[in-house]
Amino acid sequence: MNYVLDLLSESEAAVLVEEARRILRPGGLLGLVSLTRGRTRLSRPICRTSDAIHHPNPTLLGGYRSIFPPVCLVQDRWSVIHQATVEPFGVASAVLVASPRVPEAPSAQ
């Protein structure tokens, strides 16, 4: 899902991620890309500016905001396989690939 979570509330994002978990085939992966906090001299001011614009009027940026995808991944339900931040042209994006954890079978006693 590319930049979809940026547009959703935290509760809506959690529902979307859980639905993805439900419909993934065994061995399937979830890929997320989202705007995130900048780490370089170029991306930090771009991020601060977009946050300053978004805070009073989210519609000016189409509703996009800087978030970090793992917030909506319940850690005991997902295993993160890859996580990185890329910053082309000063726009910071978090990239995350995760797989659903398989529930442990109850032990027989």
Q: Looking at the predicted structure, is the pLDDT value of residue 1 above 80?
A: no
Instruction: State the Cα–Cα distance between residues 71 and 86, nearest whole angstrom.
Output: 18
Q: What is the pLDDT of residues 5-59, one digit of tens each?
A: 878 888 888 888 889 999 999 899 999 888 787 778 877 777 677 777 666 776 7
Q: pTM here?
A: 0.73
Q: What is the pLDDT of residues 76-99, one digit of tens each?
A: 788 889 989 888 888 888 888 999
Residues 6+ apart with CB under 8 A from 65: 6, 35, 50, 51, 54, 58
Domain range annotation of the chain: 5-100
Quote the pLDDT of residue 65.
67
